[in-house]
């Protein structure tokens, strides 16, 4: 069964969260997904203790899909909708930031409640595309009002850097978690964010841990990748700026050796390494099918020993860490990280 974490008082989550960006329109660059198989994967994961799901207001169709999943649970399953935690996001469009006010925020939260068929949202992760547009503190305050009104159970943030997370916390917003990219390729949270989160009891919920599936045996010995998903495009950029292709190949070989020692797979070592870092609450792993369910349950069947962790860390320390704070390059105009993002999906 998946390990659990008490993320907030009376609120526990699985330490591997099922990610749903993969199920939104446009994420797959090639094949169309088999949605029946996806629903099967949801049931299989939940039955194995992976009861927490990550979606977003801007991941088209995913909140509705999770609403359907909850309905299926009501109609005959050992689990009930109350056994499931749905983490959504509030991501106002970049073009609308200057107009965001309480009533707009409440409209989007109500839309998420309707889509998910819930009376209260378990966790809302707040995102703000551009710190130079004022309003993020006020908007976080509006989320707190909606929490007090009973529409939101827990408030969280996503893609905030240390400075701006600190501002939100200092303003009295009870942030329980911060969702950011953190993997063997992208170690920006190690600069400052992780320490700050630990000091405030905020859990880091990490995405990119498997880098869209690029941390797997099948890539050993390859000379290039043909991106199949938007995740591949995103994480390939991070490899270019850190390990490079040769370093990536060497890392895969190292992870494979450790995986063989524990009779597991490269993906499980990459996930476990991130889960073993202090301050990390959970890793979010994207779901596209039922193919990886059994393999992902193996994450909790073994422990990395101190030598494994040290060996991986020493290897990574030979390579640069991505420049800046978490999500800083993604916010920098004309950077390649920013150029691949869609920043006006909420009103589409």
- Among 2, 15, 19, 69, indicate the residue that binds ligand NAP (CB under 6 A): 19
Could you say whether residue 216 binds ligand NAP (CB under 6 A)? yes
Least Å from the CB of residue 293 to ligand NAP? 8
Position 45 contacts ligand NAP (CB under 6 A): no
Any contact of residue 128 with ligand NAP (CB under 6 A)?
no
* Interacting span for ligand NAP (CB under 6 A) from 13-21, 68-76, 169-177, 311-319: 13-21
Span from 72-80, 209-217, 219-227, 273-281 in contact with ligand NAP (CB under 6 A): 209-217
How many residues interact with ligand NAP (rule CB under 6 A)? 27
Residue 203 touches ligand NAP, criterion: CB under 6 A: no
Among 67, 81, 92, 212, indicate the residue that binds ligand NAP (CB under 6 A). 212
20 vs 254, beta carbon nearer ligand NAP: 20
Q: Does 281 bind ligand NAP (CB under 6 A)?
A: no
Among 52, 159, 177, 346, binds ligand NAP (CB under 6 A): 159
The minimum distance between CB 267 and ligand NAP, in angstroms, equals 3
**Quick one: 116 or 179, whose CB is closer to ligand NAP?**
179
- Whole-angstrom Cα distance, residue 238 to residue 86? 28
Give the residue carrying structure tokens 């749903």.
Answer: 20
Residue 289 within binding range of ligand NAP, rule CB under 6 A:
yes
The reply to whether 346 sits near ligand NAP by the rule CB under 6 A is no
Minimum CB distance to ligand NAP smaller for 16 or for 152: 16
Give exposure, 267-303, as e/b (b: 16+ Cβ within 10 Å).
bbbbbbbbbebebbbbbbbbbbebebbeebbbbbeee
In the complex, minimum distance from the CB of residue 305 to ligand NAP, in angstroms, rounded to a whole number: 21
Query: Considering the rule CB under 6 A, would residue 222 count as an interface residue with ligand NAP?
Result: no
Task: Tell whether residue 286 is a contact of ligand NAP (CB under 6 A).
Answer: yes
Distance of CA 37 to the CA centre of its chain: 22
- Can you tell me which of 5, 41, 54, 175 binds ligand NAP, judged by CB under 6 A? 54
Smallest distance from the beta carbon of 182 to ligand NAP, in angstroms? 10
Q: What six digits make up the tokens of 268? A: 């499980």
Inter-residue contact 99 to 48 (CB < 8 Å)? no
User: Given the rule CB under 6 A, which residues bind ligand NAP?
Assistant: 19-22, 54, 158-159, 179, 207-213, 216, 231, 265, 267, 284-286, 288-289, 292, 295-296
């Amino acid at each position: 069964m998946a390990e659990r974490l008490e993320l907030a008082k009376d609120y526990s989550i699985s330490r591997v969260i099922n990610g749903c960006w993969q199920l939104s329109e446009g994420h797959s660059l090639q094949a169309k997904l088999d949605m029946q198989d996806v629903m099967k994967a949801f049931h299989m994961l939940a039955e194995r203790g992976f009861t927490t799901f990550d979606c977003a207001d801007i991941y088209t169709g995913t909140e509705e899909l999770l609403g359907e999943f909850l309905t299926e649970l009501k109609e005959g399953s050992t689990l009930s909708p109350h056994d499931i935690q749905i983490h959504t996001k509030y991501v106002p469009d970049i073009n609308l930031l200057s107009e965001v006010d309480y009533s707009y925020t409440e409209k989007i939260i109500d839309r998420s409640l309707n889509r998910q068929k819930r009376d209260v949202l378990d966790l809302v992760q707040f995102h703000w595309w551009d710190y130079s547009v004022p309003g993020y503190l006020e908007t976080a305050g509006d989320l707190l009002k909606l929490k007090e009104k009973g529409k939101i159970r827990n408030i969280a943030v996503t893609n905030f850097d240390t400075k701006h997370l600190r501002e939100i916390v200092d303003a009295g917003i009870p942030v329980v978690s911060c969702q950011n990219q953190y993997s063997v390729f992208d170690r920006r949270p190690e600069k400052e964010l992780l320490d700050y989160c630990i000091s405030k009891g905020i859990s880091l919920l990490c995405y990119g841990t498997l880098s869209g599936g690029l941390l797997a045996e099948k890539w050993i010995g390859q000379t290039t990748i043909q991106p199949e998903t938007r995740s591949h495009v995103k994480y390939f950029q991070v490899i270019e700026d850190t390990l490079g292709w040769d370093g990536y190949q060497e890392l895969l070989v190292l992870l494979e050796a450790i995986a063989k020692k524990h009779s597991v797979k490269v993906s499980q070592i990459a996930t476990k390494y991130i889960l073993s870092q202090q301050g990390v609450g959970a890793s979010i792993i994207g779901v596209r099918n039922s193919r990886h369910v059994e393999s992902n349950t193996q994450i909790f069947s073994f422990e990395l020993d101190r030598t494994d962790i040290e060996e991986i860390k020493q290897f990574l320390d030979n390579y640069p860490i991505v420049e800046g704070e978490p999500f800083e390059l993604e916010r920098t105009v004309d950077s390649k990280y920013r150029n691949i993002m869609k920043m006006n999906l909420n009103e589409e």
